[in-house]
């Protein structure tokens, strides 16, 4: 007779084994899901910031932006009928 049980025999006799395995698996799944969500959010914010940087530096130069704003201001100043709607 074997006085000591083997490890696998102890695991077979353990009633909480399935519950412990389920809890460990769920915890690992939650942590991986959270990690994937953080990685996705970081990648999206990085791409968004690259897009904004590219748009402001290459597509819409500041000279064009200031000239467009000044043209709009001149248009508002030259047309008195725009102010009548506000009164």
- Render pLDDT for 34-87 as a digit per residue (tens, 0 to 9): 999 999 999 999 999 998 888 877 766 666 667 778 888 887 777 666 555 555
The reply to whether the predicted model has a pTM over 0.85 is: no
Cα 72 from Cα 23, distance rounded (Å): 63
Report yes or no on 84 lying in a domain.
no
Print the domain residue range for 28: 7-61
How many distinct structural domains can be found in the chain?
1
């Amino acid at each position: 007779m074997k006085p000591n049980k083997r490890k696998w025999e102890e695991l077979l006799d353990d009633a909480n084994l399935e519950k412990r395995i389920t809890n460990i698996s769920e915890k690992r799944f939650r942590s991986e899901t959270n990690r994937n969500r953080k990685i996705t959010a970081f990648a999206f914010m990085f791409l968004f910031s690259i897009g904004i940087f590219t748009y402001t530096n290459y597509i819409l130069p500041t000279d064009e932006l200031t000239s467009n704003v000044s043209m709009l201001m001149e248009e508002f100043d030259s047309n008195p009928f725009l102010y009548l709607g506000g009164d």
